[in-house]
Amino acid sequence: MALETDDFLDIDDVTPAELDALLSRAAAMKAGTDDPRLTDATLGMIFEKPSTRTRVSFETGMTRLGGHAMFLGPDDIQLGHGEPLRDTGRVLGRYVDVVMARLFDHADAETLAEYADCPVINGLTDDAHPCQTLADLLTIRETVGEDAHVAWIGDGNNVGQSFVVGAAMAGIDVSVATPAEYGMDPSVFERAAAFGVEIEPTTDPEAAIEGADIIYTDVWVSMGQEDQRAEKLSAFEGFQVNRELLSGTDAKVMHCLPAHRGEEITDDVMESDRVLVWDQAENRMHAQNALLVELLGDT
C-alpha cells in the first residue's frame, strides 16, 4: 500500500487506514516476515537539533534496507548560513531520494516539503514528533493492545500533541493532565475529535491516570527551553511519575527519551519492570523503516 501523502510532517498526514497498515507492516518487518528493499536509496538527514535515537534509528534502518543515510548537521551544509531553506530543499531534492529533518520551527519543515522534489519526513519540530508516535503506537499494539487507556502526564509538548492525535486515529482512549500554563494547543483536541475521540484536559494527574493502562510522560524542559528551567520545574510540581503516583495502579510507563531522571520521572521507575521505554526506542527504527518503504516503494 502506497501512502497518498508525499510527505510525513504530522501524524494525521496519513489516514487511519494508512496508519493501521503502517503499523502492521512495521510489526511484520520487525518479526522478519516482510523484507522489503530500498536498494541504493539515499536518505538525507538534516539535524538542526542533536539526537541519539533519531540519528541512529534512521541511519541503521536505511542500512538494513539496503540504502544509505547521510548526516547533515548545521556545520555540514548551508543551513542557517545565508542560503534560504527553500534553496536547500530544491538542491537536496535533486540528490537524495528522501529527506528527514529534525528542526526547531515546524514552518521550516513545511518549507522543505514544499520545495524538495522528494518526500520529506519530520524527525521532530517544536510542534510535532510523528515518528515517535508511530513507535509509540507500535509499542502499545504489541504490549497492551489498542483497547487501552493512556494518560499523558506533564508538558503539553510536541511529543504529546502528536501522540494524542495518533492515539485518536488508532481508537485509543487518552486522558491528558498538564499544568494550566503548559497545556497542548486547543487545535490538538479538535483534531482528535475529528477521529471520534473527545478529550477534556485536566490539571490533576491523579484524575488523569484513573483506569489507565499506560502512563506517558516526557521532559519538562525541552531542548531550547533551558532559560525557562526554574520556572517550569516550579510549575510542574506534583506531575512527576514516581512510585507514589503509580501506587494503586498496574499501569505501564512510557517515555520517549532522553529522560531527566529526578524531574519528570524517578530513577527507580525508569529502572523498574513497569517501563516500555526500551521497546519504544527500538520501535523507532521498525516504524520508520515501514514509513520509508511506504513513501519510496519497495525497490
Q: Which residues are catalytic?
A: 102, 129, 132, 218, 256, 284
The 3-state secondary structure of the chain, one letter per residue = CCCCCCCECCHHHCCHHHHHHHHHHHHHHHHCCCCCCCCCCEEEEEECCCCCHHHHHHHHHHHHCCCEEEEECCCCCCECCCECHHHHHHHHHHHCCEEEEECCCHHHHHHHHHHCCCCEEEEECCCCCHHHHHHHHHHHHHHCCCCCEEEEECCCCHHHHHHHHHHHHCCCEEEEECCHHHCCCHHHHHHHHCCCCCCCCECCHHHHCCCCCEEEECCCCCCCCHHHHHHHHHHCCCCCECHHHHCCCCCEEEECCCCCECCCECHHHHCCCCECHHHHHHHHHHHHHHHHHHHHCCC
**Which amino acids are annotated as binding site for carbamoyl phosphate, given as ranges?**
51-54, 78, 102, 129-132, 256-257, 284
**Which amino acids are annotated as binding site for L-ornithine, given as ranges?**
158, 218, 222-223
**Which amino acids are annotated as binding site, given as ranges?**
51-54, 78, 102, 129-132, 158, 218, 222-223, 256-257, 284
